[in-house]
């Protein structure tokens, strides 16, 4: 799910999940690339900031996000860390 937070402004990726039985097949990488490409079109607002949270213990997901350029902001909420990526319109993943 992608939402646009007009207060920040930023795009937020929420609840990106791949069923455990389907993991390791590239579906997560492909889905993330498609979401980032969609956000690059700026469908709801003119910002290239993309934020998401990731469970601190989920090293596989964090590696995926970091491989696409997401970096930890230092913000944490319970067992979640925030990661952010800034993209420009027209760039492709």
The pLDDT value recorded for residue 88 is: 81
Our count of domains for the chain comes to 1
Instruction: Say yes or no to pLDDT of 92 above 90.
Output: no
Give the chain's mean pLDDT.
93
**Full residue range of the structural domain in which residue 52 is found:** 2-86
Interatomic CA distance for residues 45 and 21, integer angstroms: 36
Residue 14 falls within a domain, yes or no? yes
Listed residue (93, 92, 70) closest to 83, CA to CA: 70
User: Which CATH number fits the domain that encloses residue 50?
Assistant: 3.40.630.30
pLDDT digits (tens, 9 = 90+) for 56-90: 999 999 999 999 999 999 999 999 999 999 998 66
Residue 53 falls within a domain, yes or no? yes
Residue 79 falls within a domain, yes or no? yes
Listed residue (59, 36, 47, 37) closest to 10, CA to CA: 47
pLDDT digits (tens, 9 = 90+) for 14-36: 989 999 999 999 999 999 999 99
Residue 31 falls within a domain, yes or no? yes
């Amino acid at each position: 799910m992608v939402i646009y937070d007009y207060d920040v402004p930023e795009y937020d990726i929420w609840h990106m999940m791949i069923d455990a039985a389907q993991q390791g097949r590239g579906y997560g990488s492909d889905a993330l690339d498609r979401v980032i490409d969609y956000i690059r079109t700026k469908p709801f607002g003119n910002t290239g900031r993309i934020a998401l949270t990731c469970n601190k213990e989920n090293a596989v997901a964090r590696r995926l996000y970091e491989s696409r350029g997401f970096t930890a902001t230092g913000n944490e909420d319970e067992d979640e860390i925030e990661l952010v990526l800034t993209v420009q319109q027209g760039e492709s993943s």
